[in-house]
Amino acid sequence: MKAFVRPAPLVGLAIAGWLLVVVATGSGYEQRLMALAASSALMAIGYQLVFGQVGALSLAQGACFAIGAYAAGILGGRLGWPIWLELPAAILLPALLAAVAHGPVRRLDGHYFALATLGLAVLVRLVAVDAQGLTGGANGLIGVPPLPVGWLGLSRGAGTMLAGWTLAGIGAGLALWLKRGGNGPTLALVRDDPALARASGLDPGRIRTQGFVLAAGFAGAGGALQAHVLGLVSPDVAEFSVMVGCLAMVVIGGRGSVAGGVLGALLIGHLPEWLRPLGSSYRIAYGLGLFVCLLVAPAGLVGSLERFWPRRSMPAPLAVTTSLPRPDAVLRVDGIGKSYGGIAVLHGISLELRPGEIVGLIGPNGSGKTTLINLVGGQDRPDRGRITLGTARLDGLSADRIARAGIARSFQSVAVPDAMMPTDLVMAALAAREGRAGFGHALAIASLRGEAAALLRRVGVDSDCPLEGGSVRLVDIARALALDPAVLLLDEPAAGLDPAERDRLGTLLRALATEGRALLVVEHDMVFLMGLADRIAVLLDGRIARAGTADEVRADPRVRAAYLGEPSA
């Protein structure tokens, strides 16, 4: 029974009740309003996938809605296609366009992505208003046939409304199915920290493509439904206000939540009607109402409602056996160099890491240690040189492919996204290992949780404790280990740990090397590193000044000069 107290089923029940009341009272106006709300709900549900789940500010959702409406107007109205042929076309057309358009803009982030999608929206609007022959221009299209609902035995208005909400219900179910299971943490990491997601082996570009294309399909269905309800297509459907309305729906309803998108669509659809008693000033109240919603319900309507419910109980973690270590492979860094804005940071670094070996990397601030790790981990591209793991060449590959190929890294400063628990972060990386994480790819959440808990235990973190101090860095190491890497790059893992934690970390790193993993450890703490590393490389001004055992390095006059300020003889 408990499952029915979740927002989605509850909102579903409430809407079903509402629809029954509207059918019973038989108000044609309200039926039409509800049918239109169903079309917006489809657009908003889809937008939750790209904006709510993946966090990409797409401004093309309104345009996709318009394409759906015009598809219905042209194919269903002018060409007389039957609904079972026309509706799939209205869904596929915007989805196809989104898939094609996303290719060139795949690399774009944040507002550059938003602008690219805005550009698409402007071009769609231009076609709607100016391609007279195709879209009817400013006159739009008339004669879109009503939905064939006569066999229901209800009035046309009631039948259309129920058909619309059936469509919206199917859409909601599909959206819930797409983001089910272990995809939650994966999508949250892609949304909140794309760089960390990439380092964890996830490909934010691919997941965003999926979200963008799916969202376009949902919008197309919504647009087609609207055209059938209205019986016409007006070029207003391509105006930017549709997009702003869609944004308002998902934010007011609750970002990321399917039920929130539906609630937002109902609210925005009815607000003008409910405010009508205010007379001509109702539009001012509409703007203010939006503002007040944003002010008082920051997590949206669903977020506000959820505060009254107990937290969802998580499935119990399954006990798991640790997976087998990866095949041994030697990491070879061969003459890589990097300059930023004409200033050379690394000059031809060569380095070899053999399985089971711990190599320490030391050097003063600004000597290029983190840059080297960034180049090997794929966070940045080397200007020259090659990087190979076993026989696979890795330089120039994206960070997520490098991570999945077996090179994982931790970060010097990590900020675990606010809403994520340590388990979630590790689960996201575990999901990435399979290489297919994303929408609709079901993951066994119980076994993922089990594996994540085991990894966190291994680094010595309690998975249910809030993060503080140095433990964030340990969680980051657990995240890197989730990829089961052959090579582990650690950027100052011991910083911020107390002596006891430091000892435990040393033991852990030793154990990891014994499993056959190669470790490259950047560290300022010489004492920690001297006791741990098999070999130490010293980076001075972008060159490896010395590599050897701890004693050899310690005896080198240049190292002493750089570290202890002694004049080099």
Partner 1 sequence: MSLAQLLLNGLALGSAYALVALGFVLVLNATGSINFAQGDMVMLGGYVAIALARLLDLSGLAVLPLVTLAMAGFGLLFSMLAWRPFRRRPPISGLLATVALGLTLQEAMNALEGAAPQAGPTLIGTGEIHLGPLGLSRASLGILVACLVLGSAQGWLLGRTQFGRRLRASAQDPVTARALGLPVDRLIATSFALAAALAGAVGLLLSGPYFVTPTSGNDLILRAYVAVTIGGWGSLKGAVVGALLIALFESVVAGYASSVVATASLYGLVLVLLAVRPAGLFPEPFGRRA
Q: Is 130 in the site for partner 1 (CB under 8 A)?
A: yes
| Contact (Cβ atoms closer than 8 angstroms) between residue 486 and residue 407 | yes
User: Least distance in Å: CB of 151 to partner 1?
Assistant: 43
| CA-based radius of gyration for the chain | 28
Among 16, 21, 126, 152, binds partner 1 (CB under 8 A): 126
DSSP state of 495: T
Q: Is 275 in the site for partner 1 (CB under 8 A)?
A: no
Pairing status of strand 343-353 against strand 518-522: unpaired
Burial per residue of 391-414, b for 16 or more beta-carbon CB atoms within 10 angstroms, e otherwise: eeebbebebbbbbbbbbbbbbeeb
Within positions 40 to 99, which residues make up the interface with partner 1, using CB under 8 A? 57
Helix (H) or strand (E) holding 335: strand 331-340
Q: State how far the Cα of 452 lies from the Cα of 551, in Å rounded to an integer.
A: 39
Query: Which one, 120 or 505, has the nearer CB to partner 1?
Result: 120
Q: Is 274 in the site for partner 1 (CB under 8 A)?
A: no
Contact window for partner 1 (CB under 8 A) among 15-23, 239-247, 451-459, 529-537 = 239-247
| Contact (Cβ atoms closer than 8 angstroms) between residue 502 and residue 494 | yes
Pairing status of strand 358-362 against strand 518-522: parallel
Phi-psi region of 396 (alpha: psi -120 to 50; beta: other; left: phi over 0): left
| Contact (Cβ atoms closer than 8 angstroms) between residue 407 and residue 520 | no
C-beta neighbour count of 323 within 10 angstroms: 9
One-letter amino acid of 430: L
Q: Three-state DSSP class for 541? A: coil
The first and second tokens of residue 90, run together, are 């209205």
Q: Is 114 in the site for partner 1 (CB under 8 A)?
A: yes
Q: Is 442 in the site for partner 1 (CB under 8 A)?
A: no
Phi-psi region of 353 (alpha: psi -120 to 50; beta: other; left: phi over 0): beta
Among 34, 83, 120, 216, binds partner 1 (CB under 8 A): 120
One-letter amino acid of 332: R
Q: Is 255 in the site for partner 1 (CB under 8 A)?
A: yes
Query: Which one, 111 or 510, has the nearer CB to partner 1?
Result: 111
Query: Which one, 111 or 558, has the nearer CB to partner 1?
Result: 111
Q: Is 104 in the site for partner 1 (CB under 8 A)?
A: yes
Helix (H) or strand (E) holding 487: strand 487-491
Give the position of tokens 């927002």: 7
Query: Which one, 416 or 432, has the nearer CB to partner 1?
Result: 416
Q: Is 284 in the site for partner 1 (CB under 8 A)?
A: yes
User: Least distance in Å: CB of 123 to partner 1?
Assistant: 6
Q: Is 248 in the site for partner 1 (CB under 8 A)?
A: yes
CA nearest 222: which of 251, 243, 206? 243
Q: Is 118 in the site for partner 1 (CB under 8 A)?
A: yes
Among 27, 286, 332, 516, binds partner 1 (CB under 8 A): 286
Q: Is 119 in the site for partner 1 (CB under 8 A)?
A: yes
Query: Which one, 53 or 463, has the nearer CB to partner 1?
Result: 53
Q: How many residues bind partner 1 (CB under 8 A)?
A: 37
User: Least distance in Å: CB of 166 to partner 1?
Assistant: 31
User: Least distance in Å: CB of 284 to partner 1?
Assistant: 4
Contact window for partner 1 (CB under 8 A) among 230-238, 244-252, 357-365, 441-449 = 244-252
Q: Is 107 in the site for partner 1 (CB under 8 A)?
A: yes
Among 280, 313, 321, 514, binds partner 1 (CB under 8 A): 280
Among 294, 319, 415, 442, binds partner 1 (CB under 8 A): 294
The first and second tokens of residue 365, run together, are 């601030």
CA distances from 472 to 195, 217, 254, 463 (A): 17, 40, 29, 11
Query: Which one, 341 or 499, has the nearer CB to partner 1?
Result: 341
Contact window for partner 1 (CB under 8 A) among 63-71, 261-269, 276-284, 320-328 = 276-284
Among 100, 109, 166, 462, binds partner 1 (CB under 8 A): 109
Among 41, 290, 459, 483, binds partner 1 (CB under 8 A): 290
CA nearest 71: which of 249, 217, 242, 214? 217
Q: Is 342 in the site for partner 1 (CB under 8 A)?
A: no
Within positions 9 to 28, which residues make up the interface with partner 1, using CB under 8 A? none
Among 20, 123, 415, 444, binds partner 1 (CB under 8 A): 123
Query: Which one, 177 or 340, has the nearer CB to partner 1?
Result: 340
Question: Which residues share a beta bridge with 332?
Answer: 352, 388
C-beta neighbour count of 457 within 10 angstroms: 12
How many residues can be counted in the chain?
Answer: 569
User: Least distance in Å: CB of 286 to partner 1?
Assistant: 7
Q: State how far the Cα of 20 lies from the Cα of 144, in Å rounded to an integer.
A: 27
Q: State how far the Cα of 10 lies from the Cα of 199, in Å rounded to an integer.
A: 38
Which spans of this chain sit near partner 1 (rule: CB under 8 A)?
57, 104-105, 107-112, 114-116, 118-120, 122-123, 126, 130, 240, 244, 247-248, 251, 255, 280-281, 283-284, 286-288, 290-291, 294-295, 298
